[in-house]
Amino acid sequence: MKLKLRIWRQAGPEAAGRMVEYDLDGVSEDMSFLEMLDLLNENLTNRNEEPVAFDHDCREGICGMCGVVINGVAHGAPEGVRTTTCQLHMRSFADGATIDIEPWRAGAFPVLKDLAVDRGAFDRIIQAGGFISSNTGSAPDAHSTPAPKREADLAFDNATCIGCGACVAACPNSSAMLFTAAKITHLAMLPQGQPERYARVKSMVAAHDEEGFGNCTNIGECAAVCPKGIPLESISQLNRDLIGSLFKADGK
């Protein structure tokens, strides 16, 4: 396959960036999107040019490290497919296609270099309450705390969030509501999450706003690009807990 790539190049956080065109030949349709970028970087290195910086780690769709906006869609999945950038394969593109590649763009995700952005804001939202406090010791028996099936399923679905940031990248308001909602719902559905439930939602939403993410207007772009299929309903769960927390003394 022969491709024309238009990639956002930015030397550093403060530098001005621009789209740069590259022609790339010899792409196999079995390559993943990141392997295609590896091939480009190999060519660039051989030509003594600066390779394109992009985030990646496990390359099997479970770590949440990779992610770029491909032809205007976060992770670039074709219609009806949910995938991370690393699990997107070049067979999804036509031979001779022009592909635009840009970094996640949000005020709270500053570009570090080229396609790599700083997602430290997500870590700080988790630090604000995305955990349960329990004394460590030997693990309790699995059946000592029963969890209802429906709630356990919901918790598990929401726990699949890998924190890649595609929701923020796709959101017209640069809001991280879907990410925060997934974490809130995950812990709010389980018995272990109850003691800190309402203090958690207050402090995580406060941290979300503090980090400079935008406000949710219920458009649904986030859920449409989420590689793990976190549904928009999670945001309503967050809102229910947030409204509920107004009537609780926790976290005041």
Partner 1 sequence: MAVTGLIMIAFLLMHMYGNLKLFLGPEAFDHYAHWLKGATEDGGILYPVLPAGWFIWIFRFVLVLSVILHIWSAASLVLATRARQGDKYVTRKTKAQTYSARTMRWGGVIIAVFLVFHLIQFTIIPGSFGGNADEPHTMVVAGFEQWWMVALYAVAMVLVVMHVRHGFWSAFTTLGGNTSSRAASVLNGLAWIVAVVLYVGFMIMPLAVLFGVI
CB of 162 to partner 1, least distance (A): 19
Nearer to partner 1, 64 or 213 (CB): 213
User: Do 162 and 193 form a contact (C-beta atoms < 8 A)?
Assistant: no
Nearer to partner 1, 45 or 71 (CB): 71
Nearer to partner 1, 203 or 237 (CB): 237
CB of 98 to partner 1, least distance (A): 10
CB of 69 to partner 1, least distance (A): 6
Determine how many CB atoms are found less than 10 A away from the CB of residue 77: 21
Which residues, in sequence order, are CB contacts of 178 under 8 Å at separation 6+? 167, 171, 222, 223, 226, 230, 232, 234, 235
Q: Tokens 């693990």 label which residue?
A: 139
CA 13 → CA 37, 57, 117, 171, distances in Å?
21, 22, 9, 22
Nearer to partner 1, 26 or 244 (CB): 244
CB of 221 to partner 1, least distance (A): 5
CB of 139 to partner 1, least distance (A): 33
* Site for partner 1, rule CB under 8 A: 6, 8, 19, 69, 71-73, 100, 102, 104-109, 170, 172-175, 212-221, 223-225, 231-233, 235-237, 239-240, 243
Distance of alpha carbon 133 from the chain centroid: 25
CA 143 → CA 135, 146, 148, 152, 155, distances in Å?
18, 6, 12, 13, 17
Q: Tokens 């309503």 label which residue?
A: 236
Nearer to partner 1, 51 or 212 (CB): 212
